[in-house]
Amino acid sequence: MQDIILKRRSIRKYTEEPVSEETIRLLLEAGMSAPSAGDERPWHFIAITDKAVKEQIPKHHPYASMTPRAPLVIAVCADLKQERYPGYWPQDCAAATQNILLSAETQGLGAVWLGVQPNTPRSKGLAALFGIPEGIEIFSLIAVGRPAETKESPSRYDAGRVHRDRW
């Protein structure tokens, strides 16, 4: 697993090969296996494969230019009505997002995390596009596909950012 974590990079170019339904399920299963505050699991996911919908995403997210060409885009959302521990849903959804990214890497897929929260205009535009109901917040988008690019995996370890016992 350590090699998967160290190898993973943000991939923004994909082949046209579709992502199978079985693979989508594996990605979402990984997301749903993330830790969450009090085992609350506030997440909901939208698996977007419709080209017309994917083409609209960059109108609401300035860094999502790759989404029309990605075979799959996953929207990670939270149901605020499920909150037992208010304010922890972003951490829960971040863990789910990271699990999906790592699962994609293990399956030979490329993926990139596109942040939505806390950008209110972004989240409102995407919520309207996806028909997200009241009480549900969109946290992130993940563009996924077979990589059409490779990236180096240099070590990012920085001993200067490690502190022992105290700052």
Q: Residue 154 has what pLDDT?
A: 87
Express as a percent the part of the chain with pLDDT over 90: 89
pTM of the entire predicted model: 0.95
Read off the pLDDT of residues 77-124 as tens digits, 9 standing for 90 and up: 999 998 889 999 999 999 999 999 999 999 999 999 999 999 889 999
Q: What is the reported pLDDT for 66?
A: 98
Confidence of residue 134 (pLDDT cuts 50, 70, 90): very high
Residue 25 confidence class, pLDDT cut points 50, 70, 90: very high
Query: 20 phi and psi, to 5 degrees?
Result: -65, 160
- Order of strands, edge to edge, in the sheet holding 72-79? 43-48, 72-79, 136-145, 110-115
| Complete domains list, the chain, with CATH | 7-149 (3.40.109.10)
Q: Which CA distances in Å does 2 have to 43, 93, 105, 107, 119?
A: 26, 22, 12, 15, 32
Q: What is the pLDDT of residue 165?
A: 96
Mean per-residue pLDDT over the chain, rounded? 96
pLDDT digits (tens, 9 = 90+) for 53-86: 999 999 999 999 999 999 999 999 999 998 889 9
